[in-house]
Amino acid sequence: MDGAAASTPVVAPSIDELADELIRRGEERRRYLKEEKEKMMLEFEAKRVQLHTEYSSRLLQADEELRGVVEERQLRRQLTLGAKAQDVVTLDVGGKLYTVKRETLCLCRGSFLAEIFSGRWDSSLPRDKANHIFLDIDPEVFDVLLAWLRDCKIGQTPATAPSGRVAPEKMQHFQAVVDFFGLRPYLSVKGFGPDAWGSKTPKEVTEVAPERSFLKVAGSFLPWRMAATPPAPTTAATSEPGLVPAAAVAAPPKVVGWSQKNSDPLVEHEEVNICCLPDTRKQRKCCTARSTRGYQSGVHRFGVRLLNSSNCAVGLVCSDWSYDSEADGHLGHLGHRGWAVASDGSTWAEGRELERLPISLGEGTLVVFNLELGAAKPLRSATLELNGVLFRNVFTDLPDTVYPAVSNTLGAPGRFQLLCDSDLEAVAAASTSTAAKESAG
């Protein structure tokens, strides 16, 4: 019996049994992996929450420390300014002496005038032989400005402060002084143009009336190295710059155009404000033109009309932009130091695409830039008008100085007209009228 039992063959497991065993082991492995995954996710989430909590705590701590430092600096500055506010300073303005309280000169907080007389720059200010602070300004113009500051200081509101009067032949110089001191946001003056040296002298005596929102808008702080009063225009009646006879007719405004020095040498200058960008597709590069005028502070407006262009970029470049830089001048969207709108409506800032506007540029398109250049970067922006359609704050955080510029993005030829001030208004009005007629038709 035992021998017979020992010789009985072992029956191998069936295929179904093997399949069931394989499925069971697979399910066990799957459950194990799922449990491990859930465990790791829980650990990861716990770690993430911990890091986020630590980050938030440290960020809050850093914000509090920064706030403390800022408040301390402001307090120290206020104490310093408060102590110096009662100082009496003597100014030599174009050879005429003025004695005035420092607080009067610092009335327009945030302006360049208030900054240079804050007391922090006294050692850097130019002085005459008697050690009086020297300002190379026409005394008659400074009389009007100082009288207005004193009227506002002694309790009268800007709206009720008596207005000064500026002779017609002094109007350009007065506007230049106001812009130089960063006081444009505080004043609303009849006869002021967008630019002191491009404005026209009014025929009648002009009154200076302070704006009602006197302290609403902060003035512009210009870097000291940039703060230089432009030379007065020279007339045919005298060969000495800055001497303009009272009876002389104001010189015609200087036309702002495309710069020959700062544009690509391939650019052809048809007129002062009209340039032609050649076909550079064979050279496999882009050609760029920059304007002669740069904008630093305040509110400005200029336009570029596409006389003939199939593919281009219209926009701004900063002061350190150069046409011969491989990183900048040869990029179709004005490079890493440019801000532009392209023919397809795409907008570019410093070499990166921002968004695509629902409009394209073509022949006859008028691209208008409205610049608001405040003292700080968040307050320096550009709003666009494309054939009358407004796109607000397309570009922000603009640099200290910006120049109008154009480029042929794919090397295609183009012809562009730069428009400023009255020329822009005339073309914009004509474009609006034409668009209205086409819409009505």
**Cα distances (Å, whole numbers) of residue 15 to 18, 19, 20, 179, 285:** 5, 6, 9, 95, 72
The residues facing 303 across adjacent strands are: 368, 419
A 10 A CB-CB count for 327 gives 11
Structure token digits, residue 70: 């800022």
Non-local CB neighbours of 342 within 8 Å, separated by 6+ positions: 311, 312, 313, 332, 333, 348, 361, 409
Under CATH, what is the fold of the domain 88-221?
Potassium Channel Kv1.1; Chain A (3.30.710)
Strand partners for 127:
133
Q: What is the CA radius of gyration of the chain?
A: 34
- Residue 375's pLDDT is 75
Q: Does domain 268-440 have CATH number 3.40.50.300?
A: no
Question: What is the DSSP track for 112-154?
Answer: HHHHHTSSSSGGGS-B-TTS-EEE-S-HHHHHHHHHHHHHHHT
Report the 10 Å Cβ neighbour count for 116.
Answer: 23
What's the CA gap between 198 and 384, in Å, rounded? 22
- Do the Cβ atoms of 124 and 108 come closer than 8 Å? no
pLDDT at residue number 388: 77
Residue 303: per-residue pLDDT: 92
pLDDT for 189 equals: 67
Give pLDDT < 70 ranges for the chain: 1-12, 74-85, 155-164, 188-255, 324-332, 377-378, 422-441
Tokens, residue 165: 């009067």
Residues of 414-433 as b/e, b for ≥16 C-beta within 10 angstroms? bbbbbbbbebbeebbeebee
Residues 153-184 have pLDDT tens digits of 776 544 444 456 777 888 888 888 888 888 87
Domain definitions of the chain by residue range: 88-221, 268-440
Tell me what pLDDT residue 206 has. Answer: 40
User: Do the first three CATH levels of 88-221 and 268-440 match, i.e. the same topology?
Assistant: no
Helix (H, G, I), strand (E, B) or coil at 354: strand
Q: How far apart are CA 401 and CA 223, in angstroms?
A: 11
Contacts of 404 (CB under 8 A, 6+ apart): 290, 291, 293, 302, 304, 315, 316, 369, 418
CA–CA gap between residue 91 and residue 225 (Å, rounded): 21
Q: What pLDDT is stored for residue 354 in this prediction?
A: 86
Q: Residue 54: enclosing H or E segment and its boundaries?
A: helix 15-84
Residue 159 CB partners (closer than 8 Å, separation 6+): 210, 212
CA distance 257 to 241: 23
Supply the pLDDT for residue 3. 53
**pTM more than 0.75:** no
Adjacent-strand bridge partners of 114 = none
pLDDT tens-place string over residues 325-380: 644 444 557 777 889 998 888 898 888 888 888 888 888 889 999 998 887 766 78
Q: Given this model, what pLDDT does residue 165 score?
A: 74
Q: Which amino acid is at 251?
A: A
